[in-house]
């Protein structure tokens, strides 16, 4: 792969909206991605392997629990810093960002928000340091966009719970020590359970043959009469709102992350357009190529503003789920379109692993589907503005 010459676009001087701390956190993440992710990621994506050697570095830049309080090992940062870290990591690779998002927003967040003090003390510091990795089991083979239909269930056996069922498409599953699993009790109410690797009847087969997020490990979670200790139930929130609360936090991070992928594609295409000569001129001098690049920077700038504002609302505790849906949907769509246009600017070179664009493009096909598909987020906005539910 070519050396990482990334230069972040900031067309509207958005750095002026950031604090010194935001910039320090962002720049540390940016330097780390250049040093530790860019040189190896193409190789790992080609091999379809997650580079486990970067786990400790992810922990050091605050990617595991950026907004979790320091007392639990988190970085104690605000929501904009969290977003900027996700942006920088996804600038490197969406699969690596997925690992960080799952660990922070889908594993640490529910333990912090819905767990008791003993659970927080037991799990959060080890998850923050990367000593333990986690995964989040919501999606099932027959219940994706409609998680409320889940059939994974547990029965109260007196001194323990007995868990049965299966989850599918679970990021980090093949190597995670800890799984936050959503399952129904005997009355049909959804609860979160912490399931640990090694519990009898619990297995995590890997999902192979993905053309997308190849540097992220994906798998199933299978529960065959797993005895889960009663102290592993998350006691402070139940119902479908509990996993959806985690998704809000993760989707917010994805909205920032997608900007990172888009910035990398734009920056690569811009540089290439000034270097590649055809018909005796740099291709960037042709109007058709300028149109692509000008539209890219316009869309990136709009997404940056939308997302920064969403971060301010999150910091104030005012962002709604529907606002987060809008940003996730808009930004991933923006990134996938930019990846496609950028790929064309590179001509044949665009399809090779010499450049990051094709990998981003393939990765974004997962990002536009997981954590609520493109269509589902549109329906969330539709419901929010009309008050009429088009889901059912």
- With vertex at residue 339, the alpha carbon angle to CA 337 and CA 341, rounded to the nearest 5 degrees, is 70
Catalytic residue among 42, 220, 299, 371, which? 371
**Segment contacting ligand FAD (CB under 6 A): 134-142, 255-263, 266-274, 275-283?**
134-142
In the complex, what is the shortest distance from the CB of residue 7 to ligand FAD, in angstroms, rounded to a whole number?
29
- Strand ranges inside 79-159, DSSP E: 134-137, 153-156
In the complex, what is the shortest distance from the CB of residue 104 to ligand FAD, in angstroms, rounded to a whole number?
13
The yes or no reply on residue 201 touching ligand FAD (CB under 6 A) is no
The yes or no reply on residue 144 touching ligand FAD (CB under 6 A) is yes
Q: Which residues pair with 183 in a beta bridge?
A: 191
Selected binder of ligand FAD within 94, 139, 204, 330 (CB under 6 A): 139
Within positions 53 to 112, which residues make up the interface with ligand FAD, using CB under 6 A? 102
In the complex, what is the shortest distance from the CB of residue 247 to ligand FAD, in angstroms, rounded to a whole number?
9
The yes or no reply on residue 366 touching ligand FAD (CB under 6 A) is yes
Q: Which residues pair with 374 in a beta bridge?
A: none
The yes or no reply on residue 50 touching ligand FAD (CB under 6 A) is no
CA distances from 134 to 42, 65, 88 (A): 24, 12, 21
Cβ nearer to ligand FAD, comparing 203 with 369? 369
**Segment contacting ligand FAD (CB under 6 A): 60-68, 126-134, 280-288, 371-379?**
371-379
Selected binder of ligand FAD within 171, 232, 249, 304 (CB under 6 A): 171
Draw the binding track, 205-244, toward ligand FAD (x: CB under 6 A; -: no contact): --------x----x--------------------------
- H or E segment at 296? helix 287-315
Cβ nearer to ligand FAD, comparing 64 with 308? 64
Q: Applying CB under 6 A, what is the total number of residues that bind ligand FAD?
A: 22
> How many CA within 13 A on the CB side of residue 252?
33
Q: Which residue do the tokens 């088009």 mark? A: 390
DSSP assigned state of 150: -
Determine how many CB atoms are found less than 10 A away from the CB of residue 121.
13
Residue 191, SS3 per DSSP: strand
**Segment contacting ligand FAD (CB under 6 A): 149-157, 279-287, 330-338, 373-381?**
373-381
Q: Report the distance separating Cα 51 and Cα 57, nearest Å.
A: 11
Q: What is the C-alpha end-to-end distance of the chain, expressed in Å?
A: 47
Q: Residue 301: which residues within 8 A CB-CB, separation 6 or more? A: 9, 11, 12, 14
Selected binder of ligand FAD within 121, 145, 298, 344 (CB under 6 A): 145
Q: Report the distance separating Cα 145 and Cα 157, nearest Å.
A: 31
Q: Report the distance separating Cα 180 and Cα 163, nearest Å.
A: 13
In the complex, what is the shortest distance from the CB of residue 23 to ligand FAD, in angstroms, rounded to a whole number?
31
In the residue annotation, 316 being an active-site residue is answered as: no
**Segment contacting ligand FAD (CB under 6 A): 52-60, 254-262, 331-339, 368-376?**
368-376
Cβ nearer to ligand FAD, comparing 30 with 377? 377
Selected binder of ligand FAD within 74, 110, 137, 165 (CB under 6 A): 137
Residue nearest to ligand FAD (CB): 144
Q: What are phi and psi of 214, to 5 degrees?
A: -70, -25
The yes or no reply on residue 169 touching ligand FAD (CB under 6 A) is yes
Cβ nearer to ligand FAD, comparing 92 with 311? 92
Distance of CA 53 to the CA centre of its chain: 19
Q: Report the distance separating Cα 383 and Cα 386, nearest Å.
A: 5
Crossing angle for the helix pair 357-367 and 321-345, to the nearest 10 degrees: 150
What are the catalytic residues?
371
């Amino acid at each position: 792969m070519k050396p990482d010459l990334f230069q972040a676009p900031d067309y509207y001087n958005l750095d002026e909206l950031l604090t010194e701390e935001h910039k320090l956190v962002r720049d540390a993440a940016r330097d780390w991605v250049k040093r530790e992710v860019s040189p190896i990621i193409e190789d790992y994506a080609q091999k379809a392997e997650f580079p486990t050697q970067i786990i400790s570095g992810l922990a050091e830049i605050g990617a595991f629990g950026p907004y979790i309080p320091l007392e639990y090992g988190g970085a104690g940062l605000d929501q904009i810093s969290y977003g900027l870290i996700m942006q920088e990591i996804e600038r490197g690779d969406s699969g690596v960002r997925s690992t960080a998002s799952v660990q922070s927003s889908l594993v640490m967040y529910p333990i912090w928000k819905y767990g008791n003090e003993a659970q927080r003390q037991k799990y959060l510091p080890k998850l923050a340091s990367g000593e333990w990795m986690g995964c989040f089991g919501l999606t099932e083979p027959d219940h994706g966009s409609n998680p409320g239909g889940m059939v994974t269930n547990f029965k109260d056996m007196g001194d323990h719970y007995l868990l049965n069922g299966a989850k599918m498409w679970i990021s980090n599953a093949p190597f995670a020590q800890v799984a936050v699993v959503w399952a129904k009790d005997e009355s049909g109410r959804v609860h979160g359970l912490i399931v640990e690797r090694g519990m009898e009847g619990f297995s995590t087969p890997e999902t192979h043959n993905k053309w997308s997020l190849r540097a992220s490990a994906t798998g199933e979670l299978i529960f065959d009469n797993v005895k889960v200790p009663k102290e592993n139930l998350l006691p402070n929130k139940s119902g479908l709102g509990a996993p959806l609360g985690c998704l809000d936090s993760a989707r917010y991070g994805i909205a920032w992350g997608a900007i990172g992928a888009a910035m990398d594609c734009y920056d690569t295409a811009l540089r290439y357009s000034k270097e590649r000569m055809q018909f005796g001129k740099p291709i960037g001098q042709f109007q058709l190529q300028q149109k692509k690049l000008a539209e890219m920077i316009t869309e990136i700038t709009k997404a940056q503003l939308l997302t920064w504002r969403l971060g301010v609302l999150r910091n104030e505790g005012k962002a709604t789920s529907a606002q987060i849906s809008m940003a996730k949907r808009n930004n991933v769509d923006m990134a996938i379109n930019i990846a496609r246009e950028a790929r064309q600017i590179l001509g044949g070179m665009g399809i090779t692993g010499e450049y990051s664009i094709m990998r981003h493009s393939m990765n974004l096909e997962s990002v536009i589907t997981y954590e609520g598909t493109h269509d589902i987020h549109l329906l969330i906005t539709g419901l929010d503005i009309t008050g009429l539910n088009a889901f059912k």
